[in-house]
A and B are shown apart, each in its own frame.
Chain A
Amino acid sequence: MIRTWTFGRKVGASIGLLVGLTLVIGIVAFAALRSVVSTKDRVIDVDAQLLIDAQQIRIDAVRKAESARGFLLTRDERLLTEMQDARTDFAAAIARLRQGATSDEARRLLDAIAEAEAGHQRALDAVIAERRTAATVDAVARTFDTQVLPARDRLAAAIEAFVVNEQERLQAAKQASTDRASFATALTGVLVAAVGACAIVLGVLLTRTLRRQIGTAVGQVQSSSAELQAAATQQATGAREQATAMSEIATTISELLATSRQITDSARRVAQIAEETAAAARGGGGTVEQAHESIAAIRRQVDLIVGHMLELGKKSQQIGTVVDIVSELAEQTNILAINATIEAAGAGEAGRRFAVVADEIRKLADRVGGSAKEIRGLIDDIRAAVNTTVMATETGSKAVDAGSKQFAQVTASFREIVGLVTTTTEAAREIELSIKQQMTAVEQINVAITNIAQATKETEASTGQTQQTASELAALSRELLRVIRPERAA
Chain B
Amino acid sequence: MTPAPDRHRAALLREAFDRAFAEAWSPEAGAFEDLLDVSVGSARYAIRLAEIAALAADVPITPLPTSVPALIGIAGFRDEIVPVYDLGALLGHAAEAGRRWLAVAAGDTPVALAFAALERHLRVPAAAVAARDPSDAAPYIGAVAHLEPGPRLIVSIPSILMAIADRTRAASARE
A-side interface residues toward B, CB under 8 Å? Answer: 331-332, 334-335, 337-339, 341-342, 345-346, 352-353, 355-356, 359-360, 362-364, 366-367
Query: In the complex, how many residues of chain B place their beta carbon closer than 8 angstroms to a beta carbon of chain A?
Result: 22
On whether A352 and B55 interact (CB within 8 A), knowing A341-B34, A341-B49, A367-B13, the answer reads no
**How many cross-chain pairs have Cβ atoms below 8 Å apart between A and B?**
46
Question: Which A-chain residue is minimally distant from B16 (CB atoms)?
Answer: A363
Q: Are the CB atoms of A342 and B121 closer together than 8 Å? A: no
B-side interface residues toward A, CB under 8 Å? Answer: 13, 16-17, 20, 25-26, 29, 34, 36, 49-50, 52-57, 106, 118, 120-121, 123
Question: Complex: how many Å from CA A359 to CA B121?
Answer: 10
Question: Complex: how many Å from CA A337 to CA B20?
Answer: 15
Q: Are the CB atoms of B121 and A334 closer together than 8 Å? A: yes
- B26 to chain A: which residues have CB within 8 Å? 352-353, 355-356
- A360 to chain B: which residues have CB within 8 Å? 17, 20
On whether A342 and B52 interact (CB within 8 A), knowing A353-B26, A355-B26, A364-B17, the answer reads yes
Question: Which B-chain residue is minimally distant from A360 (CB atoms)?
Answer: B20
Question: Complex: how many Å from CA A342 to CA B49?
Answer: 7
Question: Complex: how many Å from CA A364 to CA B16?
Answer: 10
Q: Are the CB atoms of A366 and B121 closer together than 8 Å? A: yes
- A337 to chain B: which residues have CB within 8 Å? 121
- B54 to chain A: which residues have CB within 8 Å? 339, 342
In the assembled complex, how far is the CB of residue A367 from the closest CB belonging to chain B, in whole angstroms? 6
| Residue from A335, A355, A367 within 8 A of B57 (CB atoms) | A335
In the assembled complex, how far is the CB of residue B16 from the closest CB belonging to chain A, in whole angstroms? 8
Identify 17 new A-B residue pairs, CB closer than 8 A, beyond the known A331-B57, A352-B25. A334-B118, A335-B56, A338-B55, A339-B54, A341-B34, A342-B49, A342-B50, A342-B55, A346-B53, A352-B26, A352-B29, A353-B25, A353-B26, A356-B26, A359-B123, A363-B16, A363-B20
Q: Are the CB atoms of B53 and A362 closer together than 8 Å? A: no
Give 12 A-B contacts (CB < 8 Å), ordered by A residue. A334-B121, A338-B49, A339-B55, A341-B49, A342-B55, A342-B106, A345-B50, A346-B53, A352-B29, A353-B25, A353-B26, A362-B121
- A364 to chain B: which residues have CB within 8 Å? 17
Question: Complex: how many Å from CA A359 to CA B29?
Answer: 15
- A356 to chain B: which residues have CB within 8 Å? 20, 25-26
Q: Are the CB atoms of A345 and B49 closer together than 8 Å? A: yes
Q: Are the CB atoms of B121 and A338 closer together than 8 Å? A: yes
- B13 to chain A: which residues have CB within 8 Å? 367
Q: Which of the listed residues A331, A335, A364, A367 has the most CB atoms from chain B within 10 Å of its own CB? A: A335
Q: Are the CB atoms of B120 and A366 closer together than 8 Å? A: yes
In the assembled complex, how far is the CB of residue B11 from the closest CB belonging to chain A, in whole angstroms? 13
Question: Complex: how many Å from CA A175 to CA B53?
Answer: 216
- B36 to chain A: which residues have CB within 8 Å? 338
- A359 to chain B: which residues have CB within 8 Å? 123
- A334 to chain B: which residues have CB within 8 Å? 118, 121
Question: Complex: how many Å from CA A346 to CA B120?
Answer: 21
